[in-house]
Amino acid sequence: MTDFLSTVTNTCVTDKLPDFHIVIPARYASQRFPKKLMADLGGKPILQWVYELSMGAGAKSVTVATDHDVIYQAAKQFGASVIMTKNDHENGTERLAEVAAVKHWQNDEIVVNVQGDEPFLPIDLIHATVAALSRDEEAEMATIACAIDSVDDLFNPNVVKVVCDEMQRALYFSRAPIPWDRDYFATIENKIDDLSTDFAALRHIGLYVYRASLLSKYADLPMSPLERWEKLEQLRFLHQGIKVQVAIAEGLPPHGVDTPEDLDDLRQKILI
């Protein structure tokens, strides 16, 4: 158990980070795995793992945001700061925006969205994404990505790809294989078995960091056709010309809990 946890809870930060807040949007209902945040993992609910790792990230505040009394009471029981939000939010970003408004955070304050089903999210990914946003004064949000080195991942629509400009800002996110290596892929008659040695593609990791000013205007941003087609919320921001800074991670973090099978897998790993 110690070996697995030590690989996902490191705090290697070289530069001093600005102050930041963490909000954990916590939905009780889930289509693929109902009540998963309350599911037991090593003697405590998944949500508690996420709260505790967030508390270890050095944030100015950590808040659980939920619309369900079961989660509210459970969070209170393990000592979390928790806010009961509206029950008609379409996504976690809207829930973050409500918390930022309730807390009266200033426009320049930084808010991290940590998903409630990511019990082993490495803390250094949070730090890297916060640092990326703080270094780019023109960006209003940041996220993180890692290299793709697998053909299967490149062509898997469930693996979201991102292409960046020279300032490491996102140009586009897609479920399609981007960028397209035209000359190399054109030489393969039947099936692409490997990527060329100089091919660089990035896999998006779903961690978002916002300036509070962006959250305050999020509700007024209409859904774009790009978002509707790709089913990727971050395209709403790009469609509006909002600059999104992208930090680069050294590798893919541990998988979150989307299904009961994911939970069983993590239970086995923490016993190793």
Q: How do residues 29-77 score in pLDDT, each as one tens digit?
A: 777 788 999 999 999 999 999 999 999 999 999 999 999 999 999 999 9
pLDDT at position 4, please? Answer: 46
Portion of the chain with pLDDT greater than 70, in percent: 91
Q: How do residues 141-151 score in pLDDT, each as one tens digit?
A: 999 999 998 88
| In the predicted structure, residue 15 carries a pLDDT above the cut 60 | no
pLDDT at position 272, please? Answer: 61
Say whether the peptide bond before residue 45 is cis (omega within 30 degrees of 0). Answer: no
- Listed in sequence order, the residues at least 6 apart from 54 whose beta carbon sits closer than 8 Å to its beta carbon are 22, 24, 62, 114
Mean pLDDT, to the nearest integer, of 145-163?
A: 92
Task: Output 47 or 258, whichever has higher pLDDT.
Answer: 47
pLDDT at position 1, please? Answer: 44
* Contact (CB, 8 A) for 68 and 83: no
Strands 141-147, 161-164: pairing kind: unpaired
Give the pTM: 0.89
Q: What is the mean pLDDT of the chain?
A: 89
pLDDT at position 86, please? Answer: 84
pLDDT at position 64, please? Answer: 97
| In the predicted structure, residue 132 carries a pLDDT above the cut 60 | yes
- Band of the pLDDT at 6, cuts 50, 70, 90? very low
Q: How do residues 171-212 score in pLDDT, each as one tens digit?
A: 999 999 999 888 777 766 556 777 877 788 999 998 999 999
Task: Output 100 or 91, whichever has higher pLDDT.
Answer: 100
pLDDT at position 190, please? Answer: 54
pLDDT at position 9, please? Answer: 46
